[in-house]
Structure 1
Amino acid sequence: MINERKPKIWYGGDYNPDQWEKPVWDEDLRMFKLAGIDVATLNVFAWANNQPDEQTYEFGWLDEMMDKLRADGVGVCLATSTAAHPAWMARKYPDVLRVDFDGRKRKFGGRHNSCPNSPTYRKYSVRMADKLAERYKDHPALLIWHISNEYGGYCYCDNCATAFRVWLQQRYGSIEAVNQAWNASFWGHTFYEWEEIVPPNSLSEEWRGYNGRTATNFQGISLDYCRFQSDSLLDCYKLEYDAIKKHTPEVPITTNLMGAYKELDYQKWAKHLDVVSWDNYPSLDTPYSYTAMMHDLMRGLKDGLPFMLMEQTPSQQNWQPYNSLKRPGVMRLWSYQAVARGADTVMFFQLRRSVGACEKYHGAVIEHVGHEHTRVFRESAELGAELFKLGDCLLDARVKAKVAILFDWDNWWAVELSSGPTVALKYVEELHKYYAALYGANIAVDVVGVDADLSEYGLVLAPVMYMIKPGVANRLEQYVQDGGTFVTTYFSGIVNENDIVTLGGYPGELRKLLGIWSEEIDALLPSQNNRIRLNSPAHGIKNSYVCGMLCDLIHSEGAEVIAEYGEDFYQGMPALTVNKFGNGQAWYVATSPEAAFLQDWLPSLCAASGIEPLLGVAQQGVEASLREKDGEGYLFVLNHNANSVVVDLGQQSGTDMLTGRALSGSAELAGRDLWIIKTVK
């Protein structure tokens, strides 16, 4: 359990007292009490304060604040402060500075400005983590460790080049194996010595292509460099982790992730996090389904265990093009959306607005006016009171889904490094189309990796499964053989883990399971489309739907043709097929369909697998999620609409834990409000 040391939904966020004079501290603590704040994240960017030179460490301010928070009953999420190195370090040890994509050596500035393979950075970051852990190992305020902050950013310096070669030797064993994995004979790129390999950037194999997307001559080296940089940053995290664990083996350790953040393979990272935590920053117009998918992705990183909502804003952000205010009730609603999908904390960036620099207009519980008489503070205090009222009843409750969507970072990198067939193909967007259709039908979904145990799922979706890693095809065959239903799409089964095409016809290793052969792939212009025409549409499904972007020209090799293309020279060729395989079935969607098709088809596919929605009738803007614990069910119903709606609870009934109201059948839910219904069996 995340919250074992403080058994309630933690409520608080990032606090930077080191940026303020001491008289402000006591006023902040007074307002923390009013708001129900019981956890503060300290020391995130205080490295320069803590270590003014190479030999000196000064923790007096941190000692004082840890003691003050403890005296007020506030626990501490203690960061290691290593997300931005001090200026003296950059001046004295320039190896700590990154080299950017264009080969330019950075100067001091910004944050995440350290080379992950710099011996200097690793030495001093580990030393800082060690000193903090030794100093505060027995402090009663300490709840959890927070290493660095929002890791990210690649480096292309000489240190990284050397480390990359070592990484390749460990992965492949020989230079000959590297040449084979990368198909290096193409364009005469054969390597004879390890030193001949250089990082892929704008000086070598890569360039900024259409709409800022990275393009590359050799997908193999670029894919491996993504893996290498993710591993390099992970190694930095692990070094600090080990330094802390030797002093506080029982205190959990995390670092804050960022949802579908492309640069780092979070599924690999999660194995080294005691607790998954992440920062949620949707825009005013971000689809609610996308935010829900990100929560489900974070929950899926550690087999469905609860996660920490480490950051969100109580009002507005500062770094998006248009930084809208959260409308009244939205902060509360979105906080509970996280809890509904597995969060056991509700935390903010930030508790007090900074006075200067780039985050001075980022929202905070305590605004620049400096008192509690603001809308944002009032809403924060009301939420704090509710979370106190809920106590520990929801802690460690799990979301149990019967549908899984497979998400894979290696596949994401490979799809979007591909030199064709279309720049319009965006991996996460395609997954979200399928997720959104299920979200809209109030059907629970887990978002998991390709190595997850699939045996408990009735339906597994793998849109754009371009890369097939070793053993994955066999596991999918066994899943379907045992009675599961599997769905994949166009541009799947094309390459192996090194982005080398599987010869013998698409979809490669999935060909037997799917019972089809894909001959060609047509890439349509944004102005073009085709149609999916169903041969015998089931109840609730139309005869025809629009499709576009990519169209696979496929032939059946035993699969039943459910729908065909309606236009162009491949009119009449299969567009949707199903193949019976053992006790289950495998579907292939040969094109990118309009949302209406998925909204009509996927719920019917769930119904055929005995998977039921959480509510009786789906409604636009109404979200449902169910957490379970000790035989009890907690049904969250959230109304994202500004206006009230009448919600059909179907067979569900129980008592709203926030108001004590008994609910069953149909009931009215106010705009931007929610229920947490303790259900009756």
Structure 2
Amino acid sequence: MINEKLPKIWYGGDYNPEQWEADTWAEDDRLFKLAGIDVATINVFSWALSQPSEDEYNFEWLDETIERLHKNGVGVCLATSTGAHPAWMAKKYPEVTRVDYNGRKRKFGGRHNSCPNSPVFRKYSVRIAEKLAERYKDHPALLIWHVSNEYGGYCYCDNCAEAFRVWLQKRYGSIDAVNKAWNTRFWGHTFYDWDEIVPPNALSEEWDGSRTNFQGISLDYRRFQSASLLDCYRLEYDALKKHTPDVPVTTNLMGFYPELDYFEWAKHMDVVSWDNYPSLDTPISLTAMTHDLMRGLKQGQPFMLMEQTPSQQNWQAYNSLKRPGVMRLWSYQAVARGADTVMFFQLRRSVGACEKYHGAVIEHVGHEHTRVFRESAELGRELQQLGDRLLDSRPNARVALVYDWENRWATDLTSGPTVALKYQDEVHKYYDALFKLGIQADMIGVETDLSGYDIVIAPVLYMVKTGYAQKVEKFVEAGGTFVTTFFSGIVNENDLVTLGGYPGELRKVLGIWAEEIDALFPGVTNQVVMSGERGSLSGTYECGLLCDLIHSEGAEVLATYGSDFYKGMPALTVNKFGQGEAWYVATSPDKRFMEHFLKNLCESKGIKPLANVPAGVEAAERIKGDKSFLFLLNHNAEGAAVELAEGAGGVELLSGEAASGSVTVPARGVLIIEREGAVR
């Protein structure tokens, strides 16, 4: 449970009363009660208000806000406000602002404009966090701390350059080790002194944001910047914990945000929280995969949905309204995949600036007689009804997909073989197939223990870190099924090629080696031709993007390429290794292959779908003790029938009615079926 003070699924969101006059606050209190709001995130961007000058602090406005919310039964998610530094700080200490990718020194403005390695920023951000903790440590309204907001962005200033050199010294120990890791004899880049090293940006090694002359340098700078921002978070975390050791601390993440290694960040968060902003055309399975990733950051612990919009967003190219029922549906999608909160940005719409057209529970009209408010109030009522029944329940998947931010950075930065390769997209292809089959999957990192899974899938495992190949071998040897794909096992964590033939350290467990990698132009395809039937796998499938030209070293060849000069070479192999097996998919096959392949794998392990779901219907499960909760979410604009497995019926929690056999999920509707006797 996030905080026992509020033993239910939290319902609320960002609230900015400081942007309004006092006569609005009483109306906020009334409307919050009508909507069932019980948590407000406050003080997110109020640093300048609380600290109007270097030595002056004013928290009276915050005292009044917290007292008013508490009096009206609303708990507080209290932010430290450090996502945007005050103007006086940038004026007096210009070093506090960032230098951008193109080498330009920023002026005051925007947010996330603070250099993470600025001593001034670190000093004052920690100081205000500690003052907040000292002041509110015993307040009964305080539920959780919210450090800064949506950390992100890199800096390339002199402070960062110096800190980067210190970071490198700690990581490598010597300049010779750096030269070796970066292969600096290429292009005569050998460094003889630490101060010769400069950040890789548009003025040095990089261009276009993701193309670089030296992958090792650019990869390490991403590690360093992620660690620098994490250091800022940890400094505030420690200041808060000094005074409130029992109050949880979080910061809101952003799903697959590319710049920060969230698996590393999650180690230092008491609870993971994140902001979910899909567009109208975002694949449903991609949103589900992102929820699963956020849950997987802390080994399956429940997470917080910190932000979503009640309806419209303001920053996408086409800001569509959420259709009737969709806000409720997407809220329950988060809960189904492990969220123990449903929260919004924002509770009342701003009157000005760039977020004034971002949706809110209370619209500009200012009353409850809107579609959005009615839907919000209905969801609030249902969450009150559910109480604590779902809290701390969690999915129990037997299939896992590996995702690694450093592998993503390395794949994005590589100088070949195709600009069309997108690591996240390739992972999603496998997740999407499982999603359509109704098979629950965990998203895990390379440090996650594999022993609890039957099947582990690691698409495009380009970077194999020290010890990971041995970890895979142990898993397979003990009876696990491991799947990886083309462009895997190529480099180590320094982006240096593992010599002796691809897939490098994975060669032993996979029983193959790859000689060449063919990059197919857009619109060009090859074929995966099955040699016979393997469960649901048979016939011919289309493939594209990349084709590894591989040779078997003991692996069984199940399919070959259908055309080009490598026609007849292996395209799909499986290798027996100990008690288990390791699969290699040498290309990027079509969706039909994905579904047939994964259906076959799951059936071979006795893994059954959660329910027989038609297209557009999502199935997910959370387990708590001896009870399971089956979520059926219908993303279609019309009702859909779902066949439950024999003996898989129970009580639908929102209606209180019995559910078994064939059940109908209303258009954009949700069923939550509580069942006795959770079975893995």
TM-score by length of 1: 0.99
Residue 237 of structure 1 corresponds to 233
User: Which position in structure 1 is the counterpart of 2:195?
Assistant: 195
Kindly provide the CA deviation profile for residues 585-628 of structure 1, in whole angstroms up to 9, marking residues without a partner as x.
Answer: 0000000011111011101111101111100x231111111101
Partner of 2:640: 645
Aligned to 1:206: 206
Q: Is structure 2 residue 407 aligned with structure 1 residue 404? A: no
* 2:50 matched residue in structure 1: 50
* 2:649 counterpart SS class: strand
Over residues 81-137 of structure 1, what are the superposed CA-to-partner deviations in whole Å (9 max), with x where a residue is unaligned? 000001111111001010000000001110001000001100100000000000000
For 1:465 and 1:541, locate their aligned partners in 2 and report how far apart those are by CA, in whole Å.
Answer: 24
Give deviations 1:147-184, integer Å, cap 9, x for gaps: 00000000000000000000000000000000000001
Is 1:136 the counterpart of 2:136? The answer is yes
Deviation (angstroms), 1:456: 1.1
> Residues 207-356 of structure 1 correspond to what in structure 2 (within 5 A)?
207-208=207-208, 214-356=210-352
Counterpart residue number, 1:636: 631
Instruction: Give secondary structure in 2 for the equivalent of 1:242.
Output: helix
SS in 2 for 1:499: coil
Q: Is the 8 A contact 2:3 2:248 kept in 1?
A: no
Give, in whole Å, the separation in 2 of the partners of 1:603 and 1:73: 49
Counting only pairs closer than 5 Å after superposition, residues 349-428 of structure 1 correspond to structure 2 as 349-428=345-424
**Does structure 1 conserve the Cα–Cα contact (< 8 Å) formed by 2:626 and 2:676?**
no
Aligned equivalent of 2:591: 595
Shift of residue 539, structure 1, vs aligned partner: 4.3
CA offsets 1:559-596 (integer angstroms, 9 cap, x no match): 00000000000000000000000000000000001111
**Which residue matches 1:490?**
486
Which string of whole-angstrom CA distances, capped at 9 and with x for unpartnered residues, describes residues 467-502 of structure 1? 000000001000000000000000000000000000
Partner of 1:440: 436
Which residue identity is paired with 1:646?
A
User: What SS does structure 1 have at the residue aligned with 2:247?
Assistant: coil
* Corresponding residue number in structure 1 for 2:666: 670
Query: Match for residue 76 of structure 1?
Result: 76
Whole-angstrom CA distance in 2 between matches of 1:538 and 1:156: 53
Q: Secondary structure at the match of 2:267?
A: helix
1:560 maps to what in 2?
Answer: 556
Tell me the distance in 2 between the aligned counterparts of 1:393 and 1:531.
49
Where do residues 24-103 of structure 1 align in structure 2 (5 Å cutoff)?
A: 24-103=24-103
Q: CA deviation at 1:537?
A: 2.2
The answer on whether the counterparts of 1:3 and 1:395 sit within 8 Å (CA) in structure 2 is no
Task: Name the CA distance, whole Å, in 2 between partners of 1:197 and 1:580.
Answer: 47
2:637 corresponds to 1:625: no
Correspondence for 2:167: 167
Q: How does 1:526-565 map to 2 (within 5 A)?
A: 526-565=522-561
| 1:273-306 Cα shifts (integer Å, max 9, x gaps) | 0000000000001011000000000000001000
Contact 1:98 1:105 in 2 (8 A): yes
**Offset at 1:35?**
0.1
1:611 to 607, 617, 621: 607
1:107 equivalent to 2:107? Answer: yes
C-alpha distance in 2, partners of 1:625/1:589?
A: 27
Please give the secondary structure, in 2, of the residue aligned with 1:399: coil
Give me the whole-angstrom Cα distance separating, in 2, the residues matched to 1:484 and 1:17. Answer: 54
Q: For 1:581, give the aligned amino acid.
A: F
Aligned match for 1:578, one of 553, 574, 581: 574
1:513 aligns with 2:513: no
Secondary structure in structure 1 of the residue aligned to 2:650: strand
Give the match's secondary structure for 1:577. Answer: strand
How far apart, in 1, do the equivalents of 2:537 and 2:451 lie? 29
CA distance in 2, matches of 1:100, 1:653: 57
Partner of 1:235, secondary structure, is helix
Alpha-carbon distance between aligned partners in 1 of 2:613 and 2:632, rounded to the nearest angstrom? 11
Residue equivalent to 1:18: 18
Amino acid at match of 2:370: T
1:3–1:344 Cα contact (<8 Å) kept = no
Task: Describe the superposition over 1:615-643 as per-residue Cα deviations: whole angstroms up to 9, x where unpaired.
Answer: 0x231111111101121111101101010
Cα distance in structure 1, aligned partners of 2:381 and 2:599: 38
The whole-number CA distance in structure 2 between the counterparts of 1:680 and 1:48 is 53
Q: Is the Cα contact below 8 Å between 1:3 and 1:10 reproduced in 2?
A: no
Q: CA deviation at 1:204?
A: 0.3
Cα drift, residue 661 of structure 1: 1.4
CA distance in 2, matches of 1:76, 1:59: 15
1:380-434 per-position Cα deviation (integer Å, ceiling 9, x unaligned): 0000000000000100001100000011011000000000000000010100000
Asked if structure 2 preserves the Cα contact closer than 8 Å seen for 1:3 and 1:9, the reply is: no
- Matched residues in 2 for 1:657 and 1:58: separation? 47
Please tell me the root mean square deviation across aligned C-alpha atoms, in Å.
0.7
Q: How far apart, CA to CA, are the structure 2 residues paired with 1:579 and 1:321?
A: 47
Q: Which amino acid aligns with 1:84?
A: A
Aligned counterparts of 1:668 and 1:261: Cα–Cα separation in 2: 36
1:471 aligns with 2:473: no
- SS of the residue corresponding to residue 494 of structure 1 reads coil
Deviations 1:306-344, CA, capped at 9 Å, x for gaps: 000000000010000110000000000000000000000
Letter of the 1:471 counterpart: G
TM score, norm. by length of structure 2: 0.99
CA distance in 2, matches of 1:541, 1:360: 52
How many Å separate the matches in 2 of 1:316 and 1:454?
40
- Aligned-residue sequence identity (percent) comes to 71
Is the 8 Å Cα contact of residues 613 and 619 (structure 2) preserved in structure 1?
A: no
| Whole-Å separation in 2 of the counterparts to 1:8 and 1:662 | 24
Name the CA distance, whole Å, in 2 between partners of 1:457 and 1:630: 20
Q: Aligned partners of 2:613 and 2:190: how far apart in 1?
A: 57
Q: Is the 8 A contact 2:3 2:144 kept in 1?
A: no
Which whole-Å CA distance do the structure 1 matches of 2:26 and 2:521 have between them?
Answer: 61
Letter in 1 for 2:151: Y
Shift of residue 145 of structure 1?
0.1
Moved more, 667-676 or 10-19: 667-676
Distance in 1, matches of 2:76 and 2:596, equals: 48
* Distance (whole Å) between structure 1 residues aligned to residue 236 and residue 168 of structure 2: 24
The answer to whether the 8 A contact 2:179-2:185 is kept is yes
